[in-house]
Structure 1
Amino acid sequence: MAKEYQKHSDITPDMNLEWEAKYGKKRISDLEIETSDGDVAKFVIRKPDRQVLEAMGKYAAAKNVSAINKVLISNCVLGGDMEALEKDGEVYIEVLEQLNALKNKAKSTVKKR
């Protein structure tokens, strides 16, 4: 029997409201990816929080990139076209790049006193 995957069209307004309440509306984004063959995959993602970064750090010390990516995706991809994420390398890489970009958007300034 084939595995049943969630699709972006399965996401309900109630699910969106639940995610906004849990993570904060500003921390959630819609991601649309068009592959080189013209397919479009859509996802709802969230900005990684401290808990996710700490979980990733446990695997970073061991240089386990696969486990780091798994933690990031399983915690920060809230819903979407999951079959494309699992089976299409282009989609997988782009989702990872966008999640990594979200965790690196903060800017800081250091001033001497």
Structure 2
Amino acid sequence: MRLITSIKNLHIELLVWPLALTALYFMNPHGSGPSLCPLKWLGVPWCPGCGLGHAIHYLLHGNWRASWNSHPMGAFALIVLLYRTFDLARQAFRNSSYLKNNPI
């Protein structure tokens, strides 16, 4: 029963952001794979977020110049995603500690 309660309390973002950052780390920025941009799917020629994924990829590999050239907000986006991931992990840890000390 406690496992089910723990799974229900797990925030989906705590799974999504680490998986997304891992995917960005291993992606090929020079590949010609499908785009994940919904504006590009709709045929909009310009998107404010275009290049953000590439910028994060380059940052994760330590290539600051390529990251800046891909998108100037890449470092900010990476910091926000890392902060959110660690904050969610901290909250999950606190909640699991609370559940252990106060069984339902």
Common topology (TM > 0.5): no
Quick check: which one's helix share is greater? 2
TM-score range, shorter chain: 0.3 to 0.5
Comparing both structures, which one devotes a greater share of its residues to strand? Answer: 1
TM-score (norm 2): 0.33
**Structure showing greater Rg:** 2
